[in-house]
Chain A
Amino acid sequence: MSKRTLHVNGQPREVEVEDDTPLLWVLREQLGLAGSKYGCGIAACGACTVHVDGVATRACVRPVSTLAPGQKIVTIEGLSGDGSHPVQRAWAQLDVPQCGYCQSGMIMAAAALLAEKPRPSDADIDAAMSNICRCGTYNRVRAAIHRAAGAADSRRAAIAVEHRGKDLA
C-alpha cells in the first residue's frame, strides 16, 4: 500500500492503495469517477479505456504503480467537461448509444484515434476500434467517427435523427 499522486482530468489527486490495484478501480472506487467501466478485467473489451498522456489505455490491467508521477490521465468525465468534444457531439447527433455501458470506452478510443489520425479511413477505424459493444452500435460508431472527422461515411445512407427544437450542429 502506498500513497501516490495521480494527475487525473487536469487535477492532482492523492490516493492510497495497494500497488497492484488497477487504475480502473482507483478511478472508480478511490476517486469517485465511475464513468470508466468494468466489462471483463482482461483488457479484452475496452469499456475501461482512458487516456494516459493521450494514449488510449485499458485501465483494468494497468496497475497504479506503473504510472509515472506526472503522467496525465484523462477519463470520460474529463474529455470535455460538458459534452462538447467533437466525438461527443457526433455521438449525440447520430444518437449512437443504446444501453450506453460500453460508450465511455468507445468514445475515449475514438477520441484517441482522431487525435492521432484526424481523417481516419475505414481501415484505420477497423484497426483502432476493437471495443466490444453487445448492443451492436458499431455502424453508428463508424459513422460518428467520420462525422467528427468532418467526413462522410461511404458505407451507409445518412442516419435521420430528429433533434426537435435543438440545434446540435
Chain B
Amino acid sequence: MTLSRRSLLIGAAAAGAVGGGGLVWAYRLRHPSTDAPPGSPPELNAWVQVRPDDTVVIRIAHAEMGQGTLTGLAQLVAEELDCDWNRITTEYASPSVNLERGRVWGGMLTGGSSGIRGSQEIVRRGGAAARLMLLQAAADGWSVPVAECSTDQGIISHGPSGRRTTYGAVADAAGRLDPPRRPALREPTQWRTAGRPLARLDTADKLTGRHVYGSDLRLPGMLAAAIKACPVFGGTLAGFDSGAIAQRPGVRKVLQVGDKAVAVVADTWWRAKSALEALPVRWNEGPNAKLSSADIDALVASGLDADDAVAGLEVGDARAALAGAARRVEAVYAYPFQAHATMETMNATAHFVPAAGDAPARCEVWAPTQAGESALKAVARASGLPIGQCRVHRLPLGGGFGRRLADDWLQQAVRIAKELPGTPVKLVWSREEDMLHDHYHPVTQCKLRAGLSADGKVESLHMRIAGQSIVIPGRPDKLEDRRDTLVFQGLKPEGEEAIGYSLPHLRIDHALRNPPVPPGFWRGVNLNQNIFYLECFVDEIAHALQRDPLDLRRELMRQHPKHLAVLEAVAAHAGWGKPAPAGVHRGLAQGMGFGSYVAACAEVSVDDQGQLTIHRIVAATDCGHAVNPQQIEAQVEGSFAYGLSAALYGACTLKDGRMQQANFDSYPVLQLAAMPAVETLIRPSGGFWGGVGEPTIAVAAPAVLNAVFAATGKRIRRLPLAGQDLRRA
C-alpha cells in the first residue's frame, strides 16, 4: 500500500523544524511517560529506557502481527545503543502518549511492509543518541574526556585507566543530559546485531499458551459480546425479538449497534454467541439483495474496453502501435475477492466510564490493531469523548494482513460499552461474522494486448485494468477524481513499485468499477493481481514468439538491472535451462513492490488426472538491507502460503447480495501437506530499504501458473485454480 510519507518526513525534519517536528522531540530531554507507574526509571529518550539492573527497555511504535517487526526494530536500536541483546525487553508505545508528546514516535501505522523501512532512521538515531548520553554520563562521572571512553554491549570503559561501569549505573545521570541533535549512525556493513538471524524476542510465550491476545483478555467485571450485522451488503437491521432469548443463561443485554447490527452481551462469549444464534432477527436487505458474482463480473468487465480509463503509465502510443502491429497477442485475466481470514477473528475490549464527581468520562480500549493512532481517533468518534479522554492499549495480533488497519469492529465495541457504562465488554466476532464482513481484496479484471513486429520484437503493450479501488469509493463524476495511483502497484514508471520492463510503446490504464462490496488492504494489495496479470501474459508473449520465457524477459528488462538480478538468481538456483526431473516443469515471475525486487521460480508436476503438485519454489528478494535474515526467510515462506491459498483455492463469491463463504469449510486455505518446499535467496544490494512482509506474495501464483502451462499447455487466466481442468490441453 502506498503510505503517506508524513511519518518519514517528521523523522527526517531538520533541527529547525517548526512546531515540534518529530526528530527534535525525540531528542528532547526525558518526559516521564504518562503511562509509566510512579518510580519508573527515567528514559534516555522516547526509544530507550535503562533500568538500574542494566535491563534495556526499547519502545516499539509499530504493531507485531507475526511479521517480526518488533524484533527487527529492537535489533536496529540495540545495534546503535550497543547493549547486551540478552538484557532487552520491549514495550509498545501508547498512541495517547504519542499524541501528548507531539508524535515523538512518529507514525504507528503498520502496513505496506513499512514497519522497519519507514522508521529505521528515527529508531536508530534514538539508539545512537542514548548511547552517546550514557558515554557522556560515565565520562562526566570519572571526570575524563568522553573521547577516551568506549562502549561494548552495555559496558562502558575508560581506556587509559581501565575503569568500567555499566549502562544501568549511569542511566539516571545520562537521562539528565541534553541529547545530541543528530548522532551518526553505524553503516550496515558494521552491523553486529542488526543483520544477524537472531531468534525473535516474542516466541517463548507463544509456545506455552501464555501470549495474551485480545480475544484472551480478562478484566474484572468484564462481560462478553457477540454481534451479527446484516449479511447483505448495504442492508440494515429491521428488528429482533429479544424476548425470545431473555431466559437464556448469562444473557445481560440485547441491543442494536449502529444501523446494521444486533449484539448480545452475556457473562461468557459462548453464552452470548449461542444466544445470538437463537435470536430471531429481521433485516432490511436493501438494494443489493439480489446481487451476484455474475453481476459484479459484468460490471467489472464493462471497463475493459471503455473510454473512461485513467493512465498510470504511458510511453509512446501503444494503441496506435497495436493497430499497426504485424501480430497481436491478447488475453483477459481476472482476480476475485479474497478474505483476510486472520486466525484470530476481529475483537476489541472497551470500557466506558461515565463522568463521576470531578472525574471526566473516559473510554479505554484494548485491541489488536495495525493502526494505533487511527484506533484512538476511532475510540473518540465512537464514544463521543475528546481524544484526551480516550486510551488504546495495543495488544499483539493473531494475524493482521491489512484487516486490522480498519476500526469497524473497534467502534462496535465502544458503542456496546457505552450502553453498559462502567462495565468492560469484550466483543469477539465469530468466524462467520469475520468472513461475511471482511474488507475484501478488491476485484479486478485485465485485458492485455501486445503488438509484435514481423521479426518478433515486442513493440507495444496496452494493459487495461478494470475494477475496484480500495481508496476511491463510488464513481466520482470527474475522470480525474477516479485516478487511483494505488491501482498501479508494480506497474509504475519508477520508484518503489516500478515495472521491470521497457517497451517502445506502453500504456497501463485503469477504468474504475466499484461494486458495493467493501474493499480493504489485503497482504500484497494490488501487487497480487498486477504481477499475476503481467507475468503470465509475458509468458503468453514468449509462447507466441516461441521464445524461452527467461530469454525474452532478459531482452525486455535490459534497463532494469535490479529486477533482472533477482530473476537471474532464482533461474540459476533452480537450474533453468538444465533438464528438470521427469515430469517436473518450471515457471518464472518477477516484480517490484513495497520497495523490494522479487522473483520466483516454481517447479510443479501435473498428473494425468490434472492434479497439481508444487514441489519447490525458489524465491529471491533484494530488500536493500536485511535486518534479520531468518525472519525474512519466514516472511517469504509465509507470503507464499498466503498468496497460494488465494490462487489455488480461495475466492469469495456473492449470491443474493451476500458472500457465500463464511468459514474454512467453504473458503479453504492452504494446509501443511500442500505447502511446497521454499528456498529463499536473500540478496540485499544495499543503498535502499525495501519491505519484506508483502512483496514476494505476488510472484508465487504467476510462477506456479507459468509452470502449469509448461506442464499442460493450459493457460490459467482466472483464479482460483480450484475447479479448473488441468488435464493436458
Contact = CB atoms under 8 A, between A and B. Distances in A.
B249 A165 contact: no
B208 A99 contact: no
A75 interface: yes
Main secondary structure of the interface of B (DSSP, over half): loop
A101 B672 contact: no
A96 to B, nearest CB: 8
Given A37-B343, A38-B345, A100-B211, A141 B204 contact: no
A134 B203 CA distance: 17
Contact of A130 (B401, B671, B677): B671
A77 B206 CA distance: 11
A106 to B, nearest CB: 9
Interface stretch (B285-293, B294-302, B563-571, B636-644): B636-644
B67 interface: yes
Nearest to A104: B209
A99 B65 contact: yes
Contact of A134 (B198, B637, B642): B642
A37 B428 CA distance: 12
A152 interface: no
Secondary structure of the A contact surface, majority rule: loop
Contacts of B199: 92, 95, 161-164, 166
Given A102-B343, A126-B673, A164-B86, A136 B208 contact: no
B269 interface: yes
A32 B220 CA distance: 13
Contacts of A57: none
A39 B207 contact: no
B634 A137 contact: yes
A138 B630 contact: no
Contacts of B321: none
B342 interface: yes
B198 A162 contact: yes
A132 interface: yes
A98 B68 contact: yes
Contact of B640 (A38, A99, A136, A157): A136
B343 A134 contact: yes
B633 interface: yes
Contacts of B633: 159
Contacts of B665: 42, 44
B419 interface: no
Contact of B672 (A45, A80, A126): A126
Interface string B311-354: 00000000000000000000000000000011111000000000
A132 B343 contact: yes
A132 B677 CA distance: 17
Nearest to B642: A136
Given A133-B641, A142-B672, A156-B679, A161 B209 contact: no
Contacts of B518: none
Interface in A98-117: 98-104, 107
A161 B86 CA distance: 15
Contact of B663 (A29, A42, A141): A42
Interface string B170-212: 0000000000000000000000000011111011111111111
A88 B431 CA distance: 28
Given A98-B68, A98-B634, A102-B343, A35 B215 contact: no
Interface string A32-73: 111111111110110100000000000000000000000000
B269 A25 contact: yes
Contacts of A142: 672, 675
Contacts of B200: 95, 97
A64 to B, nearest CB: 11
Contacts of A140: 634, 637
A63 B462 CA distance: 59
B268 interface: yes
A47 B645 CA distance: 18
A39 to B, nearest CB: 5
Given A83-B207, A104-B209, A162-B196, A156 B677 contact: yes
Contacts of B430: 41
B543 interface: no
A101 B197 contact: no
A17 to B, nearest CB: 8
A99 B397 contact: yes
Contacts of B209: 33-36, 75-77, 104
A40 B270 contact: no
A138 B675 contact: yes
A151 interface: no
Contacts of B591: none
B440 to A, nearest CB: 15
A149 interface: no
Given A83-B208, A134-B343, A18 B675 contact: no
Contacts of B218: 32, 34
A99 B343 contact: yes
A169 B665 CA distance: 40
Contacts of B396: 99-100
B581 to A, nearest CB: 15
B672 A131 contact: yes
B664 interface: yes
B240 interface: no
A134 B270 contact: no
Nearest to B71: A95
Contact of A44 (B65, B66, B663): B663
B344 A37 contact: yes
A131 to B, nearest CB: 7
Contacts of A33: 209
Interface in B395-434: 396-401, 428, 430-431
B663 A40 contact: yes
B215 A141 contact: no
6 contacts: A44-B665, A95-B200, A100-B211, A127-B673, A132-B671, A140-B637
Given A125-B672, A141-B672, 7 more contacts: A42-B431, A45-B343, A45-B664, A138-B641, A161-B198, A162-B199, A164-B198
